[in-house]
Structures are given as C-alpha cells and as structure tokens.
Structure 1
Amino acid sequence: MLKFVIYGDTVKNLNKTFICKYAVIRRDDMTVIAEMDFFPDCNRSLMYRDGRYVRFLPMLQNDIMGSETLINELTIRAGYHE
C-alpha cells in the first residue's frame, strides 16, 4: 500500500512546474489533491483519502469497479446472462 500527503492548493496555472512527477487534480475546481514522485505500479488501483493522506490500493483482475455496467457484470457472473 502506498501512502502520500494531500495538498489542498488550487492550481491557478496548469503550466506551473511541479517539484514531483505526478499530481492528482480534481477537475471541478482544479485543486491539487495529491503530489507524488512515482505512481502505483499496477494496471488498476483505487485511491482512498484519509485526512491528509492518500492511499492507492491495487485492484485484482476479478475486482469490479462500479460503473453504469455494474449490474450487468454482476448478473453475468451470477450466471443469469451470457
């Protein structure tokens, strides 16, 4: 599990030079949520916020990410559809 410190600064200029390699930016108000020197080395991961910390937890191949197709995916796995 990777752990990073959260920053609440608003990005006023997207051309700003970050001192790190990666930044997670909230699109609604362009707030920098997290800055990190490296990104999790996995295909898919979930980001959890806990106070001032961000945790990236890797997802397994058979884990389902909630989306508009979630109900269909669950019924297929249960054997109701093919």
Structure 2
Amino acid sequence: MLIERDLQVMNFNAVGEAYAIAVNYLRRAGVLRSDSIETDDRLLEIIVGLYYAGEHNRIKLANKAITRFQVNS
C-alpha cells in the first residue's frame, strides 16, 4: 500500500509540453537564440514554479511562463 504524505507528483508531460510551446514561441519572436539546443533553465524554473503553484494546463503554463520570461528579460 502506498501512502502519500506531503508528496507532490509532477506531470512531466504537461511541463515538457509547456516548455516546448514556450521555447518555440520565444525562438520565433527572437527572444531566444534559434540555433541553441540547450535547455533554458530560467524558463524551465518559471514553468515548474507555476505548475507547483497550481497551474496544470499546458497552454496556460506556456502563456504565463512566456509573459514572466519577457517581463524579467
């Protein structure tokens, strides 16, 4: 029997898809370099923070992350 105690489980699909959407948009907008294949840690931290704050919809995660990323750039 598995008992959860203060354990948060992350849906990696939602986070991964939100990251892909956000990176694609930011690259097309010229905010991020299009030739870089490295993960942008700051963008990923924003998405993970939003996820843990209660947002689980991948489109909303991406949109909010894009806004925060651009404001803090």
TM-score normalized with structure 1 length? 0.24
Q: Specify the structure having the higher radius of gyration (Cα).
A: 1
Structure with bigger helix share is: 2
Which has the bigger relative contact order, CA under 8 A and spacing at least 6?
Answer: 2
